[in-house]
Structure 1
Amino acid sequence: MDKPLLQVQHLTMEFGGLVAIGDLSFEARRGEITALIGPNGAGKTTVFNCITGFYKPTKGMIHFTNHDGSEFLLERMPDFQITAKAKVARTFQNIRLFPGLTVLENMLVAQHNKLMKASGFLVLGLFGIGGYRQASAESVELAQYWLEKADLMDRADDPAGDLPYGAQRRLEIVRAMCAGPELLCLDEPAAGLNPKESLALNELLMDIRSNTGTSILLIEHDMSVVMQISDHIVVLEYGRKISDGDPAFVRADPRVIAAYLGVDDEEVETVLTDVGDAKVIEQLDTAR
């Protein structure tokens, strides 16, 4: 059986006396969309920051296995090597495009390592010799491919800052795809989107999962997005895992319901009775 793409084992992240993440373990499997969810302050972004090298965890191991069998311990690597060698890319809660550059230029910036190498670090590129011309053409072709996927090709020459908010979100995602990641980490990609924009986002993420070698790990508060597209959901509360399974399991888990409704576990059935969720009440009765 293939190893999981990502194995987070006993991850702990402390800031002084504050335990932001406590003994967290979970897996993200290859070819799947794994969602990391939980109430505000649950520690989701801290987990992302540990995986992508922005934080070095206090304890624990983050094991990553590429499709060719190469293995990495991400907690021991600097952040730039996590992107370049392990092929882990991410987006952020706040959009981080270059607003004054065109949409196409933003896509080419994501491929600068490949272009710099092909240019002999500028020397060959100045004269258009070596492999630079071919690499440049391939970079434009790749950028155009992903802009078509994101329905942004008609805006390729417009400044990225002029795009509607939802289009900027999609541009961030396809820009990250230009780096050829094996794992794409998305921090609240649906934040601030209207229903039409959320649908376009869902379609793009499903396309990435189904038609590329890239797996997705996402943080998201929009449960309509999470439940529709996720294969696997991990739920955090106060930095600790309270549920782990497929969407149907997580949706009916009393601990998850309690966390999102802000009540104690023993109060869950009372709350469900009040809101009339008969299906989950029946499942709770059956589980006893």
Structure 2
Amino acid sequence: MTSGTQTMNKDTILNVEHLSMRFGGLMAINDLSFQVKRGDITALIGPNGAGKTTVFNCITGFYKPTMGMITMTQRAGGQYLLERLSDFEITKQAKVARTFQNIRLFGGLTVLENLLVAQHNKLMKASGYTVMGLLGLGSYKREAEAAIETARQWLERADLIDRADDPAGDLSYGAQRRLEIARAMCTGPELLCLDEPAAGLNPKESLALNALLNGIRDETGTSILLIEHDMSVVMEISDHVVVLEYGQKISDGTPDHVKNDPKVIAAYLGVEDDEVEEVIHEELDGSAH
């Protein structure tokens, strides 16, 4: 790769180019391009059926796109074409982690154990994939201690350290959301993809979520890409917002730019262009408080 290309991509961690996804006769995503900048919180928003989760599924390897390129550029300069990798390789090699709309914790395991399970790859590698390794000998013991320390740090950041020995299924809904994000962070991602992290949260839980996500961005430099319906969350924490409608991008910019874009208001509220000005500040500004 030329030095000029490296300079151009220096601040971009994820570059989605001309992404299209067809299911039979349905074009769910149509020629979508956008970038996620390193260290930013980028929100992907749009009405129901806009194609947001389909985009996530293409980025994280659950779908193979019909067309397009998805390039992940790591801090050290390594690049991965995500559309060519399996979901497992995207997590392990490209360092992309994901949470889902539906919480997928191990409810019967403790809060701490859920974070240790997330680190099983490096623990198994340290064991040499042998029984002797699992008996606590050599590098496995050191890695096990490091895994517990990593888990402890993320439980503190997620304000869950007091619940470390409780079953994950006993946590409140908001606490389970934070635990799921902490579990994803235990894999050491450079890009964290969150599918509706604020869904079902009350205002207090939303504030705790905002604090956790801002802390991840500010303290670790991890880039965050999220799908979200809660406009108060989007406007509060996002650096960059991409808006989809019917699988196409209709707006792309700062939260202030997007919330004042007539095309965005019309897409969300279903109003004619000549009515848009009347509802811009009343609707979206109101939801930002």
Q: Considering the TM-score relative to the shorter chain, is it more than 0.5?
A: yes
RMSD: 1.4
Contact 2:127-2:133 at 8 Å conserved across structures: yes
**Which SS does the other structure have where 1:5 is aligned?**
strand
Letter in 2 for 1:265: D
> Following superposition of structure 1 onto structure 2, how do residues 69-218 of structure 1 map, counting pairs within 5 Å?
69-218=77-226
Structure-1 separation of matches of 2:223 and 2:273: 33
Structure-1 separation of matches of 2:98 and 2:195: 8
Q: Deviations over 1:211-265 (max 9, x none)?
A: 1031000000000000010000000000000000001100100000101111233
1:37 paired residue number: 45
1:272 paired residue number: 279
Which among 7, 18, 26 is matched to residue 15 of structure 2?
7
Percent sequence identity over aligned pairs: 72
Structure-2 separation of matches of 1:186 and 1:87: 14
Letter in 2 for 1:235: V
Contact 2:100-2:196 at 8 Å conserved across structures: yes
1:284 paired residue number: none
Letter in 2 for 1:214: T
Structure-2 separation of matches of 1:75 and 1:210: 29
**Which SS does the other structure have where 2:47 is aligned?**
coil
Contact 1:3-1:65 at 8 Å conserved across structures: no
Letter in 1 for 2:138: G
Q: Deviations over 1:134-153 (max 9, x none)?
A: 10000000000000001100
Which among 6, 10, 19 is matched to residue 27 of structure 2?
19
Return 5+ residue gaps in structure 2 as ranges: 1-6
1:58 paired residue number: 66
Q: Deviations over 1:104-154 (max 9, x none)?
A: 000000000010001111333233212000100000000000000011000
Letter in 1 for 2:233: V
Letter in 1 for 2:125: K
* Cα 1:244–1:276 shift into 2, 3 Å: closer
Structure-1 separation of matches of 2:163 and 2:147: 18
Letter in 2 for 1:272: V
2:269 paired residue number: 261
Structure-1 separation of matches of 2:272 and 2:66: 30
Structure-2 separation of matches of 1:151 and 1:216: 20
Structure-2 separation of matches of 1:266 and 1:15: 35
Contact 2:193-2:224 at 8 Å conserved across structures: yes
Q: Report how many residues are paired.
A: 276
List, as ranges, runs of 4+ consecutive aligned residues in structure 1 with deviation greater than 6 Å: none
